[in-house]
Structure 1
Amino acid sequence: MSVARHSRPPELVGASLEQIMDRYVARFADRVPDWNAFSDANIDGYRRAQHRFVGAGASGKHDDSNIVPAGNFTLSIMLVPPGQGNAPHTHEVEEIFFVLQGRCVVFIEEEDGRRLSKELQQWEMISCPPGVIHGYVNETNEPVYLQVMLGRGRPETAGFADQKLFENKNAHLTR
């Protein structure tokens, strides 16, 4: 006989295994790529699609109907076409970029503009600490797939380093 050594969260007390399996399995084929997931995603150089799996991530979109409920982290897959990336930004929690397919240049930078970059290949990653300006760019001719995780179930919207982008950080929520 099996014994659960930890209690279930309140929302799962009394839930059947079938209900849990149905709610907590997410398939890539069922994800709809969101090309408007972020306010910078309509700017050339920052175009990318978010496939949400767990929680909404830093997009701020909290449509939970087809997303695995988030507890203490989010998980998305980003499709980054050649020549695209994301705008330099910060979070109040750590963010991880893990390369699933392709190669990608990740960067961290100071407020004075000094930037350090590294190219990551498949199965490599960076963990960006809270408050450190960071981002990525696909400098190759092939698409890149990144797994992106944030350390909170409902993190704040990304804090873009550029003032104009920061002022419009929630514009994508009304489109």
Structure 2
Amino acid sequence: MEFTTVEDFEKKYIARLEDRKLDWNVLKFQEEVDPRYRRAQMRYIGRGATANKDSNVIEANNFTLSTMVLPAGSVGPLHLHSDVEEVFFILEGEMTVLLEHEGKEYEIKMNKRDCVSVPPGIQRGIRNDGEEDAMMLVMLGAAKPQLPTYPEGSELEKIRIERAKERDAIVAQADR
């Protein structure tokens, strides 16, 4: 652990709510495809799979951690992380986990303080079927997870392919 004073430790390893803000733009490209995909992320550890620049996070060593707000009726679209497991821990509200595996679709209702860990290689998404905003904690099992993929031929997959080079450049610059 690298620090010489408790103040140094605090600057490097503490992320306070008062210093965070909801980022409604990080996934705006999805919302532009379908308004139901509107949601916001608040990053704490690492920058997540999108790798958006955020100097106000604890540097990730082994995983990323953020919170996400899904307004009533919003959907986190089906996507696939081939390199990491993804954990959703419901903090507020009720959500439905969406899974697609071997051509079959599944929906699993989740309530406050329920948790799901989705292994790599399984399409996953989440939907807020409630009347109020819902919030979840999201963890990805790598410091710099790969950009997720979306169902083949979908509009989101076309955008992902376009954005992949941009994301790779952000990650490469951060590594310098």
Q: TM-score range by the shorter chain?
A: 0.7 to 0.9
Is structure 2 residue 30 aligned with structure 1 residue 40? Answer: yes
Q: Which residue of 2 aligns with 1:69?
A: 59
Give the Å deviation of 1:19: 0.5
**In structure 1, how many angstroms separate the alpha carbons of the residues matched to 2:18 and 2:39?**
18
Does 2:130 correspond to 1:140?
A: yes
Q: Which runs of 5+ in 1 are unaligned?
A: 1-7
* Runs of 4+ deviating beyond 2 Å: 14-17
Is the contact made by 1:54 and 1:68 (CA closer than 8 Å) also made in structure 2? yes
Aligned-residue offset at 1:33: 1.2
Deviations 1:108-163 (A, max 9, x none): 11353x21111111110110100100110001111100000000011111211253
Relative to structure 2, which stretch is displaced further, 130-139 or 153-162? 153-162
Is the aligned partner of 1:94 residue 2:81?
no
**What is the match of residue 103 of structure 1?**
94
* Alignment pair present for 1:120 and 2:83: no
SS in 1 for 2:72: coil
Q: Does structure 2 conserve the Cα–Cα contact (< 8 Å) formed by 1:99 and 1:124? A: yes
RMSD over aligned CA atoms reads: 1.8
Task: Give a deviation string over 1:13-62, Cα, whole Å, max 9, x none.
Answer: x5322101122111222212111212313331111000011001122214
SS at match of 1:41: helix
Q: Measure the CA separation in 1 of the matches of 2:30 and 2:78.
A: 10
Paired with 2:74 and 2:102, the residues of 1 have a C-alpha distance of 22
Partner-residue secondary structure (3-state), 2:26: coil
Change over 3 Å in CA distance of 1:41–1:68 after alignment to 2: farther
| TM-score normalised to structure 2 length | 0.84
TM-score (norm 1): 0.84
1:161 to 151, 161, 169: 151
More helix by share: 2
Aligned 8 A contact 1:88 1:162 in 2: no
Distance 2:58 2:31 in 1: 23
Unaligned ranges ≥5, structure 2? 168-176
Corresponding residue for residue 5 of structure 1: none
Contact 1:106 / 1:137 at 8 angstroms: preserved in 2? yes
Percent identity, aligned pairs only, is 35
Q: Structure 2 CA distance, aligned partners of 1:22 and 1:115?
A: 44
CA distance in 2, matches of 1:166, 1:123: 31
| Corresponding residue to 2:40 among 18, 29, 49 | 49
Q: Residue type matched to 2:7 in 1?
A: E
Partner of 1:85: 75
Moved more, 160-169 or 42-51: 160-169
